Amino acid sequence: MADRHVRRSGSDYAHALLALLPTGQAWPRDIGSALSRTVAGLCEYWGFVDGRAADLLERETDPRYTLEMMSDWERAFGLPDKCLTEPLTMEDRRKALMTRITMLGGQSREFFIALAASIGYAITITEYRPWMVGIDRVGMTVDPYTGEQPAARLGPPENRFYWTVHVGLARLTWFRVTAGETGVDPHLRIGVASDLECLLRRYKPAHTEIIFDYSASDAFSDPMAGTP
């Protein structure tokens, strides 16, 4: 931090106050005199106030370092985020605050992929467009515009308003004998990334709809994933 407050101790204030008092035998400046000790004691408070003011000016006014005023910063920027319900460390809270302050927004895939990465998720995104005569051809597997898969899809023009988010990690909870109830608990429960879904739905373009896909999760690569 380049800007620093000039800190003054209680003794600095005592020295200044003694210099402003009248002179004469009734106003002794000797170390140990009742006047000097009284002034020194009173000025310790001003030294404390000065230090606290310096803390506020140097640290608490900067969201990257704030500690005592973190709740005030969060209230000003609509934090803590209602999408993130798990307890956060102070460093996590600072990171979320800086992200909220510096976020410019966007509608690109890169923006949403980075947004997911900021809370610990690796995702990929598939966008769609309707099949168009004269541009697409039967059997085409690569989009002529982007060079990526998949290409256009048969369907109504509204296809362009949907996009799929492929979540790279899912929480799997398998049925357990003695722990589950037959006929009530499913064989497998796939935990959704509720915090991720909440954030993406908040920032998505208003005219679009998101489909969340957990089938490509890394957890499914291991048949024993989620087992004790």
Q: Using one digit for the tens of pLDDT, what is the confidence trace for 100-110?
A: 898 888 889 99
214 contact partners, CB below 8 Å, separation of at least 6: 167, 170, 190, 192
Is 76 domain-assigned?
A: yes
Residue 80 falls inside a structural domain: yes
Question: Are 90 and 131 found together in one domain?
Answer: no
Distances (CA, A) of 118 to 98, 123, 214: 12, 11, 19
Same domain, yes or no, for 112 and 207?
A: yes
- Find the domain containing 170 and state its range: 107-221
pLDDT value of residue 224: 53
The answer to whether residue 228 is domain-embedded is no
pLDDT score of 112: 94
Count of positions (residues) in the chain? 228
In a domain, 4, yes or no: no
The domain total for the chain is 3
In this predicted structure, what is the pLDDT of residue 1? 47
| pLDDT for residue 146 | 56
My answer on whether 112 and 201 are in the same domain is: yes
Q: Give the span between the Cα atoms of 196 and 200, in whole angstroms.
A: 6
Question: Rounded distance, CA 82 to CA 101, Å?
Answer: 16
The verdict on 151 and 86 lying in the same domain is: no
Q: In terms of domains, do 131 and 177 share one?
A: yes
pTM of the complete model: 0.61
Do 118 and 33 lie in a common domain? no
CB-based contact 89:97 (threshold 8 Å): no
The pLDDT of residue 143 is: 56
188 within a domain of the structure (yes/no): yes
Quote the pLDDT of residue 182: 74
Looking at the fold, whether 141 and 82 belong to one and the same domain comes out as: no
Amino acid identity, residue 201?
R
Q: Is the dihedral of CA 164, 166, 170, 176 positive or negative?
A: positive
Could you tell me if 40 and 53 lie in one domain?
yes
> Which stretches of the chain score pLDDT less than 70?
1-3, 135-136, 139-154, 170-174, 176-181, 184, 189-191, 216-228
